[in-house]
Amino acid sequence: MNILLQKLTAYKKKYYRNLLIRGLLLGGSLILTTYLIVNTAEFFGRFNPIMRAGLLFTFLGITGYVLYQYIIDPVLKLNNISKPISNEEAARQIGKYFTNIDDKLLNTIQLQSLSTSQNQLLLASIDQRTQQLSLIPFTDAVDISQNRRYLRYIVPPALIILLILARFPKFFTDSSQRIVNFRKVYLPEAPFSFELKNKNLDVFKNEDLTVTLHLEGNSLPETVYLYTNGRKQKMTAIDARNFSFTFNKIQKAFDFHFEAADFQSNGYEVHLIPRPSLEIFSAKLKYPTYLKRTDEILNNVGNLLVPEGTQIQWEFKSADTDSLLVTFGNASNPTVAEQPSEETFLFSTKATKSENYQVKLKNRFGFNKEDINYFLDVIPDQYPKITLESFKDTTLFNYLVFGGNIADDYGFSKLAIVYSVIPADEENKSQHTGTIPLNLQANQTIQNYYHQWSLEKLQLAPGDKIQYYVQVWDNDGVNGPKAAKSQVFTFAIPNDKQLEDNQEQLSKQTSSKISSALTKASRLKKEINTLEDRLKTKKQLDFQDKKQIEEVLKKRQELNAELEKLQEQMKSLNQQQNRFSETNPQLMEKMDQLQKLMNNLLDEETKKLYEELEKLLETNKNNFNLLDKLSQKENTLEKEIERALEMFKQLQFEQKIDKQINDLKELAKEQQKLAEKTEDTKNNNTNDSQQKEQKELEKKQQDLNEKFEEQKQNLEELKEMDKELEQPTGLEQMDQDGQKEKDISEKQKQSLDQLQNNQNKKASQNQKDAAQKMEQMAKEMEQMQGGMEMEQNQENLDDLRDILENLITLSFDQEKLMKDFRNVNLSDPRFPKLAQEQLKLKDDAKIIEDSLYSLAKRVFQLESFVTREVTEMKQHMDESTRGIKERRLSLATGQQQLAMTSMNNLALMLNDALKQMQEQMKNAKAGKGKPKPNKKPQPGMSELQQQLNKQIQDLKQGGKSGRQLSEELAKMAAQQEMIRKALQQMEKSRNEKGEKPGGMEDLLKKMEETEKDLVNKNLSQDMLKRNQDIVTRLLEAEKSQRERDEDEQRKAEQAKDVKPSVPPAFEQYIKNKEKQIELLKTIPPALSPYYRKEVDEYFKKLGDSTK
């Protein structure tokens, strides 16, 4: 049975293969015939697009049917893809072809489908039939050769098509093209051709499109039209063959064609394509941290101005964009921006330099139309700027005060002084450098600075130099801090010679200014006296009187200003001498006393008197007593200035002679050292080293010779200064013939000549002789100075003792006369005699006054209030005399009492000065002419009060009476008054310093009560008890003061950076700088950089205007 099935399958395949061959022939015949008919119809019919579409789709329908029916279906069944004919149908077809089989094959197949394994008889029948039929070839039933008859259908159309193709191919190509492109309008063929030059009709929206037409042919039209959207538009002729037309601002796609001479071109379609465009963009600016600026976002701002180091992130919003390119500067390769989402692009960079940048947008059709170009302007962090103004302390050379301006675009990180100390003695000292940090406001872009630099820690010696400048660093967080420095300044400490010359010049200037002040004071006194005489008989002031008073006030103000400058100059001179000269303690004490005298020239009482004089200009009333007081004050001032001048000359003389002695001693030491070195130096000059050493010896000896010549000149100047003193010391008598100086000069000259002749041994001996004579000369000057000083001191002591005795006598005489006046009346015949005695006492007082003023010029121990007390005494005696003349006994006796009090005060002061001079002379003798630096401490007020209390107690118990008792009581009253005034002065000083008052008002009142009791000879037990209370209170006050002093001292020791006092010349500069800094501190920190800079500039100009 399997054999039959295989043979049936072979039959089916041959059957369908035969059908396929037949289908190819018949199908090909139908397709070619249809194509020939359709093509021929279109070729001759030149149908419109609709008909061409009908022909095309008819041809495609027939072709599709034929292909499926004759080719595809047999192929599918041949390959069993589609269901083929059944075995029964195949058996029938085979039975029809083989007559001997008839229905046998069909029946066998049917039996096979009915048979089962249980029907053995049926199976045997099928096997029998199968064996019979297997001998018949079933495939012979299909005769493939029968398909030859179908060739007559395909060959004719094929031959026709081939013949036409060979002779006239356009018959098929043109027609086929028109059928396939059925939508396209094919016009009748013109004698010329339309050739569109535009290769691409794609255009971006809202842009122009220019189409260019070229005509080709022998007969050309003159005018060409373009048709679009039913509109006819004439094209622009470029030449005879070329035409153009521009479509403006195209918004949508459209078709167009050309027409000329009733001929129409093919149609063309303009396609609208999207162009990439930038909608909006933003730039996020992240500034460097050190700028402390808030980050910003700028919208649609392309040209950027940013600080260097700013991180910039652009965000672009676009349309129809596939990619975005950013190109900086002249870079050949653009950078592609990141695309986090559709139509959004991000690009970041760090601003390092100024350059152009371009943004390009791109899609598959092209780039954006217009270039997007911007400029990135990067502001580099500028170098800081600095100016420096320097003010030098040319008095003590201990200070440098300087300031200036610093400016930067963003701020600062450091400001410092950089200095280098260059020692004068570079052989023994090395140069060293250092820095000192200065305060600044880091975020202030423009600011002032100033610094007070105390040079004491550097321990500069004469001749040393400091080179310094101020350096500032900005806060550049990108490139690192940049520095700028000011110009380099040099501050040189003068050498010894320069210092000496400077002090000499300053001394002369001071002396000249004292003389000038003395002259002005004398003129002022005369003018006041003239004014006093003018106003004696007037009750009211007229215009001329007022003018004269105004002139007096003006001259007094000028004198005050000059005295104030003189005080400062005197102070500077003393400070410089103490700073650079080794002044002995006695001279330093004299300098302090002279300075104190200068400081006391301007007193508050005189100032108040002049204020009252100024008020007279408003009241028009005459005040003779005021002018009299002013006259007395100006007389005192004149005397004190005159005293100051003489004391200054004397002090300068003593300082110079002291320096002369020290210089001679030092010169003698240098000469002795050179002699020893000369003696030890070989002088055979065998090599360059020895020759060099010999030359150095010659040079040093030459220097010593010049120094001694200077000493000789200084000695001559000293002698001239001595002559100018009111009490010369007799220095000109020393070495009158100058033999000693000649001997020393000759020895030095000989030694120099011998050194030049290599006679070192002889030169050394002459050098030693010169050194010995210098030493001897210095000792003689020192002995002479000590002797003259002792002699002068003794003379001054004797004069002071005489003045004191005369003063005490005058006091007693005044007391006796005062009592006599109290016991007489105006009609008493003794009154004129007593008046004469008062005049005689006034003359005696004048002698004491002149003697005291003369002594005060020589004795530094006499305080300035001594001369003022003399003026008070004189004024009271004058008032007493006036009272007697006017027969006003109460006024006369009252002024006599005050005059006596002044006498007693003077006596106490002079007695203290006498004791002090005696103590100094005692110390001077013990020190062989040199005073001891340590003075005996002065007793405190409590100790003085205790001594006074003891004296009162002894006087009460002693039982004295009469004149002796009055003298003792007067002295005690004066002592009590002195203690009270000292306590008042202490309280006044505390108030001026701003300290808390000591609550001494009650104590002062008790002292006044004691004075009254002593004057009234009331030695009661209440007074003694009151005096003991005074001592107790004074002890408590002194204890409190000691505790305060100890506390202040402890605080001072704990202080590490105590700033020394600033020279007065720098105070105004410092105040101006402080004002400028305070102004700059007021700038609000939240201002934007632009406005902050503007405010900085404004405050800088405002600060400069205060200079």
Q: What is the mean pLDDT of residues 1085-1089?
A: 49
Task: Please report which confidence band the pLDDT of residue 90 belongs to, taking 50, 70 and 90 as the band edges.
Answer: low
Residue 1038 has pLDDT above 50, yes or no: yes
- Looking at 624-628, 658-662, 912-916, which range is the least confident one? 624-628
277-286/483-485 β-pairing = unpaired
Gap between the Cα atoms of 733 and 718, Å rounded: 12
Residue 114 has pLDDT above 90, yes or no: no
Residue 73 has pLDDT above 90, yes or no: no
How far lies 261's CA from each of 197, 230, 236, 245, 326, in Å?
Answer: 20, 18, 16, 18, 53
Gap between the Cα atoms of 910 and 899, Å rounded: 16
- Range of 283-287, 511-515, 908-912 with top mean pLDDT: 283-287
Burial of 637 (0-12, 13-18, 19+ CB in 10 A): buried
Whether 803 contacts 853, CB under 8 Å: no
Model confidence pLDDT, tens digit, residues 810-855: 989 998 999 888 888 888 888 889 989 999 999 998 998 888 888 8
Nearest 5°: the CA angle 207, 209, 215 is 180
Model confidence pLDDT, tens digit, residues 93-110: 666 666 556 565 666 666
Helix H or strand E segment including 362: strand 355-363
335-336/263-264 β-pairing = unpaired
Where do runs of H (alpha helix) occur along 535-601? Answer: 543-580, 585-599
**Secondary structure of residue 243 in the 3-state scheme:** strand
Whether 345 contacts 338, CB under 8 Å: yes
- Range of 153-167, 281-295, 915-929 with top mean pLDDT: 281-295
Dihedral angle sign, alpha carbons of residues 607, 610, 615, 621: positive
Gap between the Cα atoms of 174 and 43, Å rounded: 8
Helices 760-822 + 889-926 axis angle, to 10: 150
Backbone angles phi, psi at 997, to 5 degrees: -60, 150
Other CB atoms closer than 10 Å to residue 815's CB: what's the count? Answer: 20
Q: What is the mean pLDDT of the chain?
A: 81
- Half-sphere exposure (Cβ direction) of 46: Cα atoms closer than 13 Å: 6
Whether 532 contacts 613, CB under 8 Å: no
Task: Please report which confidence band the pLDDT of residue 929 belongs to, taking 50, 70 and 90 as the band edges.
Answer: very low
Burial of 733 (0-12, 13-18, 19+ CB in 10 A): exposed
Q: What is the mean pLDDT of residues 519-543?
A: 83
Whether 956 contacts 886, CB under 8 Å: no
Gap between the Cα atoms of 671 and 772, Å rounded: 9
Q: pLDDT: is 1003 or 412 the higher one?
A: 412
Gap between the Cα atoms of 244 and 264, Å rounded: 16
User: Which residues make beta-bridge pairs with 366?
Assistant: 363
Nearest 5°: the CA angle 976, 977, 983 is 95
Model confidence pLDDT, tens digit, residues 793-812: 888 888 888 988 998 899 89
Model confidence pLDDT, tens digit, residues 346-359: 999 999 999 999 99
Q: What is the mean pLDDT of residues 250-274?
A: 90
DSSP code for 274: P
User: Which residues make beta-bridge pairs with 315?
Assistant: 282, 346
Task: Please report which confidence band the pLDDT of residue 1056 belongs to, taking 50, 70 and 90 as the band edges.
Answer: very low
Whether 503 contacts 573, CB under 8 Å: yes
Residue 450: closest CA among 1090, 1103, 924: 1103
Residue 302 has pLDDT above 90, yes or no: yes
Residue 1089 has pLDDT above 70, yes or no: no
Place of tokens 């408003």: 618
Residue 484: closest CA among 391, 409, 390, 422: 409
Model confidence pLDDT, tens digit, residues 320-351: 999 999 999 988 899 999 999 988 999 999 99
Q: What is the mean pLDDT of residues 555-561?
A: 89
The amino acid that residue 440 corresponds to is L
DSSP code for 540: B
The amino acid that residue 637 corresponds to is L
DSSP code for 384: P
Task: Please report which confidence band the pLDDT of residue 1 belongs to, taking 50, 70 and 90 as the band edges.
Answer: very low
Cβ within 8 Å of residue 638, ≥6 positions away: 518, 521, 522, 525
Q: What is the mean pLDDT of residues 1079-1086?
A: 51
Which structure tokens are listed for 868? 């003022």
Dihedral angle sign, alpha carbons of residues 561, 565, 571, 573: negative
1070 in the Ramachandran plot: left (φ > 0), alpha (ψ -120 to 50) or beta?
A: alpha
Residue 939 has pLDDT above 70, yes or no: no
Q: pLDDT: is 946 or 312 the higher one?
A: 312
Please tell me the predicted confidence (pLDDT) of residue 77. 76
The predicted model scores a pTM of 0.57
- Half-sphere exposure (Cβ direction) of 189: Cα atoms closer than 13 Å: 3
**How many Å is the Cα radius of gyration of the chain?**
67
Gap between the Cα atoms of 88 and 589, Å rounded: 160
Please tell me the predicted confidence (pLDDT) of residue 93. 66
Cβ within 8 Å of residue 585, ≥6 positions away: 931, 932, 933
Residue 1094 has pLDDT above 70, yes or no: no
Residue 319 has pLDDT above 60, yes or no: yes
Gap between the Cα atoms of 28 and 34, Å rounded: 10
Model confidence pLDDT, tens digit, residues 386-411: 999 888 877 778 888 888 999 998 89
**Secondary structure of residue 610 in the 3-state scheme:** helix
- Half-sphere exposure (Cβ direction) of 886: Cα atoms closer than 13 Å: 11
Task: Please report which confidence band the pLDDT of residue 1066 belongs to, taking 50, 70 and 90 as the band edges.
Answer: low
Other CB atoms closer than 10 Å to residue 31's CB: what's the count? Answer: 18
Q: What is the mean pLDDT of residues 465-478?
A: 93
Task: Please report which confidence band the pLDDT of residue 375 belongs to, taking 50, 70 and 90 as the band edges.
Answer: very high
Gap between the Cα atoms of 921 and 911, Å rounded: 15
Q: DSSP string spanning 320-333? A: S-SEEEEEETT-SS
Backbone angles phi, psi at 366, to 5 degrees: 155, -160
**Secondary structure of residue 1030 in the 3-state scheme:** helix
Task: Please report which confidence band the pLDDT of residue 377 belongs to, taking 50, 70 and 90 as the band edges.
Answer: very high
Model confidence pLDDT, tens digit, residues 568-587: 888 887 877 777 776 677 77
What is the share, in percent, of the chain residues with pLDDT greater than 90? 19
Gap between the Cα atoms of 845 and 806, Å rounded: 9
Cβ within 8 Å of residue 851, ≥6 positions away: 799, 802, 803, 806
Task: Please report which confidence band the pLDDT of residue 211 belongs to, taking 50, 70 and 90 as the band edges.
Answer: very high
Nearest 5°: the CA angle 1093, 1095, 1097 is 70
Q: What is the mean pLDDT of residues 516-530?
A: 88
Residue 1105 has pLDDT above 60, yes or no: no
Q: DSSP string spanning 806-824? A: HHHHHHHHHHHHHHHHHT-
Q: What is the mean pLDDT of residues 663-676?
A: 90
What is the share, in percent, of the chain residues with pLDDT greater than 70? 82
- Looking at 7-21, 737-751, 848-862, which range is the least confident one? 7-21
State the distance between the two ends of the chain, measured CA to CA, in whole angstroms.
Answer: 135
User: Which residues make beta-bridge pairs with 378?
Assistant: 306
Task: Please report which confidence band the pLDDT of residue 210 belongs to, taking 50, 70 and 90 as the band edges.
Answer: very high
Backbone angles phi, psi at 534, to 5 degrees: -70, -35
Please tell me the predicted confidence (pLDDT) of residue 1086. 46
Residue 883: closest CA among 871, 872, 894: 894
Q: What is the mean pLDDT of residues 896-902?
A: 89
Residue 218 has pLDDT above 90, yes or no: no
Please tell me the predicted confidence (pLDDT) of residue 384. 94
Please tell me the predicted confidence (pLDDT) of residue 97. 61
Please tell me the predicted confidence (pLDDT) of residue 996. 57
